[in-house]
């Protein structure tokens, strides 16, 4: 893994408070997606390891269907539509955001190699659209599992 340059001091008290307020889990987009999926009758694990021997946690895990869902923030994961590069301390932030994207790709590859389906949802996606997409993938995995059992 790439090393980060030393973290710079916050440029102001306000910036420091904003950065402290960033959450790693239970973000608004994540909670909204979970609520929508729960209303659809889907049950899942939240903020869980899909598989014990893989060093990774997914935002939502459907173990029986082997589906891992990640809700990515536009800033932290460099959304092609909304991702921005900060002008302050850009050397630090470029390395930090590069590392986040790299880690996401590595997680995707590790999970896919282990037989999991990985679903990435951007925070800006409408909740209903994202929930319907996840629900369709889960339903497809369930019907595929049923058809292989009956064959």
Lowest mean pLDDT among 62-76, 116-130, 136-150: 136-150
Q: What pLDDT is attached to residue 103?
A: 95
109, pLDDT greater than 60: yes
DSSP state of 126: -
**pLDDT at residue number 17:** 63
Whether residue 73 contacts residue 28, with contact meaning beta carbons closer than 8 Å, is answered with: no
pLDDT of residue 22: 64
Report the distance separating Cα 132 and Cα 40, nearest Å: 9
Stated pTM of the model: 0.84
Res 93: pLDDT:
87
Provide mean pLDDT across the span 91-102: 92
Question: At 130, is the secondary structure helix, strand, or coil?
Answer: helix
The predicted pLDDT at position 151 comes to: 61
Mean pLDDT of the chain: 89
Tokens of residue 144, six digits? 């595929």
pLDDT digits (tens, 9 = 90+) for 119-136: 999 999 999 999 999 999
């Amino acid at each position: 893994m790439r090393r980060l340059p030393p973290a710079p001091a916050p440029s102001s008290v306000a910036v420091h408070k904003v950065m402290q307020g960033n959450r790693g889990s239970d973000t608004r987009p994540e909670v909204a997606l979970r609520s929508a999926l729960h209303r659809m009758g889907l049950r899942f694990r939240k903020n869980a390891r899909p598989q014990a021997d893989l060093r990774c946690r997914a935002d939502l895990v459907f173990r029986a269907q082997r589906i891992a869902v990640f809700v990515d923030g536009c800033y932290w994961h460099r959304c092609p539509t909304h991702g921005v590069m900060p002008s302050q301390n850009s050397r630090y932030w470029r390395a930090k955001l590069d590392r986040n994207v790299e880690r996401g790709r590595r997680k995707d590859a590790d999970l896919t190699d282990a037989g999991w389906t990985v679903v990435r949802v951007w925070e800006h996606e409408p909740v209903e659209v994202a929930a319907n997409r996840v629900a369709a993938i889960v339903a497809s995995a369930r019907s595929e599992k049923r058809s292989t059992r009956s064959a």
